[in-house]
Structure 1
Amino acid sequence: MKNEARVGDAPRNQEWFLTLLPVFPIVLLVMRLWYASRQDTQTLLLLVQTISPLGLLSAVLLTTLWVLPVACVGGRLLGTLYWISTGRSSWLVHAARRLPGWVVVLTVVVGVCTWQLRFLPTLMMLALALAGLTVRDRLPGHDGLRTAVCYGLPVIAGVLSYVLLWPAIVAAFAQRDVATALLLTLPPGLAALLTGPVPVAPARVLTHGIAIATAVFTPLLVGVVVMRAPILPLIAVQFDEGGTTEVVVGHLVATDDQMSTVLGRDGAVSFVRNDRLRSKVLCPDPGEVPRTWVNLHGWYVEQSMISWLAPASVRTPDDPRCQGRPAPDGERIRPGGAR
Structure 2
Amino acid sequence: MKGAGRVKDAPRDQEWLLALLPVFPLVLLVMRLWYASRQDTQTLLLLLQNISPLGLLSSVLLTTVWVLPALILGGRVLGTLYWISTGRSSWLVRTAERLPGWVVGLAVVVGVCAWQLRFLPTLAMLSLAVAGLAVRDRFPHHEGLRGIVCYALPVMVAVISYIVFWPAIGAAFAARDLATSLLLTLPPGLAVLLTGPVPRAPARALTHGIAVAMAVFTPFLVGVVVMKAPILPLMALQLSEKETPRVLVGHLVVSDDEMSTVLGREGVVSFVQNDRIQSKVLCPDPGEVPRTWVNLHGWYVEQSVVSWLAPAPPAAPVDPRCQGRPKD
Correspondence for 1:289: 289
Q: Distance in 2 between matches of 1:156 and 1:310?
A: 30
Residue deviations 1:312-331 (CA, integer Å, cap 9, x gap): 2445474433232334x2xx
Q: Distance in 1 between matches of 2:178 and 2:249?
A: 35
Distance 1:203-1:41 versus aligned 2 partners, 3 A rule: same
Gapped runs of 5+ residues in structure 2? none
Correspondence for 2:222: 222
Q: Secondary structure at the match of 1:251?
A: strand
Compute the displacement of 1:153 (Å): 0.7
Compute the displacement of 1:222 (Å): 1.2
Name the TM-score, length of structure 2 as normaliser: 0.93
Q: Give identity over the alignment, percent.
A: 77
Correspondence for 2:16: 16
- The count of corresponding residues between Structure 1 and Structure 2 is 324
Q: Secondary structure at the match of 1:241?
A: coil
Structure 1 stretch 112-121 or stretch 310-319: which is displaced more?
A: 310-319
Correspondence for 2:172: 172
Native 8 Å contact 1:69 1:110 kept in 2? yes
Compute the displacement of 1:41 (Å): 1.9
Q: Distance in 2 between matches of 1:175 and 1:257?
A: 54
Correspondence for 1:117: 117
Amino acid in the other structure paired with 1:26: L
Which structure 2 residues correspond to residues 93-242 of structure 1 after superposition, within 5 A? Answer: 93-242=93-242
Distance 1:170-1:208 versus aligned 2 partners, 3 A rule: same
Correspondence for 2:254: 254
Structure 1 stretch 189-198 or stretch 307-316: which is displaced more?
A: 307-316
Q: Distance in 2 between matches of 1:237 and 1:174?
A: 44
Q: Secondary structure at the match of 2:164?
A: helix
Native 8 Å contact 2:6 2:89 kept in 1? no
Correspondence for 1:333: none
Distance 1:172-1:100 versus aligned 2 partners, 3 A rule: same
Q: Distance in 2 between matches of 1:290 and 1:271?
A: 35
Residue deviations 1:68-111 (CA, integer Å, cap 9, x gap): 01111100100100011111111111111111111111111111
Structure 1 stretch 159-168 or stretch 271-280: which is displaced more?
A: 271-280
Compute the displacement of 1:7 (Å): 12
Compute the displacement of 1:120 (Å): 0.9
RMSD: 1.9
Gapped runs of 5+ residues in structure 1? 330-339
Q: Secondary structure at the match of 1:285?
A: coil
